[in-house]
Amino acid sequence: MGFVIEQLTPATFVDHEDDLIDILVDCVHDGASVGFLAPLGRDEARADWHGVRAALADGSRILLVARPAGQGAVGTVQLDLAMRANGLHRAEVMRLLVHTKARRRGLGRRLMQEIEACARARRRTTLILDTRDGDASEILYRSLGWILTGVVPKFAKSSNGALDGSAFYYKLLS
């Protein structure tokens, strides 16, 4: 099944809000380390997505969603654009999330390739991201040419109470 990837605006965000909430809640409940602890309620997820919508409106964030044609979103990724004068060449890739029902189909790879294309189009040539040390996502990032900068131990708390390391990566785009 093919997927459509689209960039949301503050206006089109509304059409996908419930799907985005579903994706975030599903991923956090599956153990994703994206700033929340399970159980994550829909109201808390909604409030967070409203912050993303505000960042879309002020031009500091890009939000992509992936969905099967004619269906709701099942994946998403964000690009946070540095807005200070000395950082207009860089951005941070944030929250690559794929709903558990849509995994193992190459969707994470496609979303990463598209968000890198968005960065290039905006002349953002230095990208960074972080992920929990040891997560499967590290295999994806390395296969796409991302370079591990280092690991900060005990960086983020997991739902089980453990303090996990966070692996920091960068990629220089041409």
Q: 94-118 pLDDT, tens per residue?
A: 999 999 999 999 999 999 999 999 9
Non-local (6+) Cβ contacts of 150 within 8 A are 167, 168
- Domain range for 113: 3-128
Specify the CATH number for the domain of residue 123.
3.40.630.30
Residue 112 lies in a domain: yes
pLDDT at 174: 85
Low-confidence ranges of the chain (pLDDT < 70): 1
Concatenating the DSSP letter of every residue in the chain gives: --EEEEE--HHHHHHHHHHHHHHHHHHHHTT--SS--SSPPHHHHHHHHHHHHHHHHTTSEEEEEEEETTS---EEEEEEEP-SGGGTTEEEEEEEEE-GGG-SSSHHHHHHHHHHHHHHHTT--EEEEEEETT-THHHHHHHTT-EEEEEEEEEEE-TTS-EEEEEEEEEE--
pLDDT in tens, 65-83: 999 999 999 999 999 999 9
pTM flag (> 0.95): yes
Residue 77 lies in a domain: yes
Residue 18 lies in a domain: yes
pLDDT at 120: 98
Residue 73 lies in a domain: yes
How many separate domains does the chain show?
Answer: 1
Specify the pairing of strand 147-157 against strand 126-132: unpaired
pLDDT at 96: 98
pLDDT at 1: 61
Residue 147 lies in a domain: no
Residue 53 lies in a domain: yes
* C-alpha to C-alpha distance for 92 and 126, rounded to whole angstroms: 9
Residue 141 lies in a domain: no
Residue 150 lies in a domain: no
Contacts 24+ apart (CB under 8 A), 46-51: 46/17, 46/21, 48/24, 49/13, 49/17, 49/20, 49/21, 49/24
